[in-house]
Chains A and B, each alone.
Chain A
Amino acid sequence: MKTSKGERVFFAVNYVFLALFGISALVPLINILAVSLSDSSAIISGKVSIWPIGWNIEAYRQLIEGTRIIHALKNSIIITVVGVALSMLFTILAAYPLSRNTFYGRRFFTLAIVFTMLFGGGLIPSFLVIKELGLINSYAAIWLPSLVSAFNMMIMRTFFLNIPSELEDAARMDGCGEYRMLLQIFLPLSLPVLATLTLFYSVGYWNQFLSVLLYINDAKKYNLTVLVQNMVASQQLLQQINTFQAEDSVSMTPEAIKAGAVVILLLPLMIVYPFLQKYFVKGALVGAVKG
């Protein structure tokens, strides 16, 4: 199909604009990567922009040997993988019945769940609830409160509602029960929404900061965000001149190490993302319903 001149100009401007926007979003990440691989004098002098100067992997070596970052990485992975598995399982189990109009009490449960989206309890009450449940210092305090995000569950429910009822009828006529319907008909058709929600939950669990900070007391169980925050936050020293502890100046983290820690924090999700992206684009009902 021939594009008219106006359309071509439009596309060109679009591409240029989006490319610039994409690059400007990418440059800080490339900068951090470059800083983590640079020599400290060059970093203090501000010479590092997108290419490392004075290439050395000293920062990574110090991180891996001198700090607990690998343990924290392992903890983060555990929290994310188990959390996502549990969350997806319960979100699917919640969304499926709410999408079937033969479910008794469907209206009531939907309203109740939507109601929880309106407000939360606040910091101290949540802490007290977790404490009374005896979940302090265990990962259950991170998994259980945010097990099913009401919003995500609504997304999935809407998706299930949009699957044509002809498929369901056809399956019922062949004697399909509820579980089989869910596992073999609905889920394979829902790959885009499953991929999206997996990604949302992964990012949520990977980035958990405040809940780990407050509920986990054992330093062995800290995840990557809390550890990296401890290292990166000492940047504030440049501002606070008078009120710091003498020991602060001994344990100032060099910039290269901070940058390396941030790279380790970002890298796993950045690797996972492209693999999930293809599911977003795949059509949901290609070839399923004819005519």
Chain B
Amino acid sequence: MNGIKAGYRTKIRIVLALVLVLLIMNGCSNRKDNTVSDTASPDASTSGESTKPATTKPKSKISVSVYDRGNVPAAEGTIDDNRWSKWINANGPANVEFVPIPRWESLPKLNTLFASGSAPDLIFEIDAKIKNQFLAQKQFMPIDDMVSKSVEYKKFLEQNPGVKKLAMNEDGNMYYFGRVVGPRLNVGLVIREDWLEKLGLESPTTPEELLAVAKAFTERDPDGNGKKDTFGYHLSFIGGGVIDRMYNSGEIPDGMLLNNGEIVRQWDNSKAALQLKKELFDAGTVDKDFLTDKGEKALQDFVNGKLGIYGINNISSINGAGYKNFETLRKNNPNAKIKFIPFPTTEYGSYSWGWEPIQLVAAVNAKAKNPQAVMDYMDFLTKDSTQLSLTYGIENEHWKMGEDGCPKQIDPAKSKVEVDYNGDFRMQANIGIGLLDKCAQPEKVYDAKDPLQKEYMDLQLQQAKPAYLNPERPFNGFTASGYNPALPQDLSAYSAQLTQSISDIFNKAIVSGASYSVDQAINDAKTAWSKGNGDKIEAWYKDWYAKNKDKIYTTAEIYKEYVK
């Protein structure tokens, strides 16, 4: 240290000495393990505690994921600590630690939890892609063993064999728990009945009639304001999808149709659908900018009385798009009358929009220390009394049983604050069967004394249900779209690519008028298909079908089981 001033030399020596001491101390101290304790401790009853009576088993500890939507009222607490988490811990078979997962950001959160080995024992996740990703990484354990030793869930599986079929993986093991949500009135086609009456038209039942009515709505000023500012149809959002389904070309995986017991990649159905869309566009009946509309403009046009035929979603929900849009429409146009019409029938048949009666909701972490406790918890959740309490609240505090056998809320406002936020705790609730289904019918959800609600409810029961939940108008495809097989990784990359490019070709055909015909588009699509490894995809599906045709949960079976 010769170049450094004397005063500094001592200071440097002191600093270096301190650093040395700190390093030594650090190395010698024990490393506290501060990892989040979420792996279950082994069942305490096996540790031979003779002081506890033999009948009460000390509760084991498990961790369960729960979606966090940011909607827990401040007075109730947080999603991992509220009256329902406490209720579950008090009445359930285990001490549950809830791990909040943001509803719409579950993938990054689950990724980091799994990567660091701190994922919860039981994972509730609705998105099939996310679940399948973790399954492919072998993060889940097979549940066949656990289920065969269970009580409630085993009974549930026997009564609903479809759940078992869907939960089965290619290796012959079950990995997912499921629930029955039953047929849901989700997507439909709504037409302005007052406009039909004004112009002296009938509701369209064929594609030609659809085109004619759409044209009339556009050209003959049905809202009577002297301006030509109305659209007959919309191709954005659901509008285009309805036409695909009319021709049996929507919701089918990669365009694969089952024809005479064989899987083929269809083109004629798509061509016919494209033809109708192009005619609708060329006749000026749809908004020319539909490609940039994610659905907001079509909705606004509809509720402002500028759109004659609208593809509506979430029909049955009173809080969601269905009723709210109807309410807004009526507010803006007091004379508006709507009608739910079945999708027009084409040469390929009569169809409706798809729905899935069974949802796979949960999986078990492969590293869970106490699978039996997890299974006991699922059994607890599957029990009717648990589902009833979670859905309606505590008996005599939130509801009393009515004469019709359905729970009646004592104070709806209190239930709204204290019960409604617990939806994610009851992801296992079988809302499609039994008491929950019976008591959630529109008649029970909508208030018959409110004229607007009664009107909407009647429309649902008299028009929407027979049109969309009808075995004679099934949904497209040999099974529900969510139950289609997942392509292997390389093929699914090609599939995504092809879906995008074919959709671009079709959209180009719709908007390009005379310069790009439907036939050209179909030829270009076929070329893109064969150049983009479409043949490999078709071969994979044919092969898969040959191996799995009796394991598929077919459309016919679904309707037979759940649409009575």
Taking Cβ atoms with an 8 Å cutoff, the residues of A that contact B are 40-41, 44-46, 64-68, 70-71, 104, 123-124, 127-128, 131, 133-137, 210, 213-214, 217-220, 226-231, 233-234, 236, 238-239, 241-253
Contact = CB atoms under 8 A, between A and B. Distances in A.
The number of chain B residues touching the other chain, given as a range, is 35 or more
The 6 closest A-B pairs by CB, nearest first: A134-B34, A247-B423, A230-B70, A233-B104, A219-B78, A46-B300
Given A68-B72, A124-B112, A213 B102 contact: yes
Contacts of A248: 103
Contact of A131 (B116, B238, B317): B116
Nearest to B115: A124
A59 to B, nearest CB: 14
Contact of A218 (B80, B103, B187): B80
Contacts of B72: 67-68, 219
8 contacts: A44-B328, A65-B75, A133-B34, A136-B118, A229-B104, A238-B237, A241-B186, A241-B313
Contacts of A247: 423-424, 426-427
B71 A127 contact: no
A13 B1 CA distance: 65
- The secondary structure that dominates the A interface is helix
Interface stretch (B205-213, B291-299, B344-352): B291-299
A2 B3 CA distance: 61
A67 B71 contact: yes
A81 B184 CA distance: 49
Contacts of B181: 246
A228 B71 CA distance: 10
Contacts of A65: 73-75
A227 B354 CA distance: 33
Nearest to A135: B34
A64 B73 CA distance: 9
Interface string B20-48: 00000000000011111000000000000
A41 B302 CA distance: 13
Given A214-B108, A251-B69, A104 B4 contact: yes
Interface stretch (B319-327, B456-464, B489-497): B319-327
B262 interface: no
A171 B111 CA distance: 56
Contacts of A134: 32-35
A229 B421 contact: no
Interface in B417-464: 417, 420-421, 423-424, 426-427, 431
B67 to A, nearest CB: 8
A224 to B, nearest CB: 10
Given A45-B304, A229-B104, A229-B105, 14 more contacts: A41-B328, A64-B74, A66-B71, A66-B74, A68-B70, A104-B4, A104-B8, A124-B112, A136-B34, A137-B36, A228-B70, A239-B294, A241-B313, A251-B423
Contact of A246 (B104, B128, B251, B431): B431
A213 B328 contact: no
Given A243-B127, A247-B423, A251-B69, A128 B116 contact: yes
Contacts of A244: 126
Interface in B106-126: 108-109, 111-112, 115-116, 118, 126
A236 to B, nearest CB: 7
Contacts of B356: 242
Contacts of A230: 68-71, 102-104
Contact of A67 (B70, B251, B297, B332): B70
Nearest to A220: B78
A214 to B, nearest CB: 5
Contacts of A104: 4, 8, 12
B450 to A, nearest CB: 16
B482 interface: yes
A80 B424 CA distance: 31
Contact of B303 (A45, A217, A231): A45
Contact of A46 (B35, B118, B304): B304
A124 B108 CA distance: 10
A40 B324 contact: yes
Contact of B296 (A233, A238, A245): A238
A3 to B, nearest CB: 45
B99 interface: yes
Given A220-B78, A220-B81, A136 B294 contact: no
Given A41-B328, A251-B69, A71 B74 contact: yes
Contacts of A210: 108
B418 to A, nearest CB: 12
B89 interface: no
A158 B116 CA distance: 40
Contacts of B112: 123-124, 127, 214
A234 B71 CA distance: 12
A213 B300 contact: no
B481 interface: yes
B332 A41 contact: yes
Contacts of A137: 36
B314 interface: yes
Contact of A68 (B74, B296, B481): B74
Interface centre among B34, B356, B417 (most CB of A within 10 A): B34
Contacts of B364: none
Nearest to A241: B313
A242 B253 CA distance: 14
A44 B108 contact: no
Contacts of B297: 46
A200 B238 CA distance: 44
Contact of A238 (B79, B295, B332): B295
B100 interface: yes
B248 interface: no
A236 B104 contact: yes
Nearest to B324: A44
B128 A243 contact: yes
Contacts of B8: 104
Given A46-B296, A230-B68, A233-B104, A249 B320 contact: yes
Which one of B35, B71, B103 has the greatest number of beta carbons of chain A within 10 Å? B71
Nearest to B332: A45
B288 interface: no
B359 interface: yes
B138 interface: no
A109 to B, nearest CB: 13
Contacts of A253: 71
A123 B108 CA distance: 9
A238 B71 CA distance: 19
A242 to B, nearest CB: 6
B86 interface: no
A185 B209 CA distance: 85
B526 interface: no
Contacts of A226: 70, 102
A2 B178 CA distance: 81
A231 B80 CA distance: 17
B126 A219 contact: no
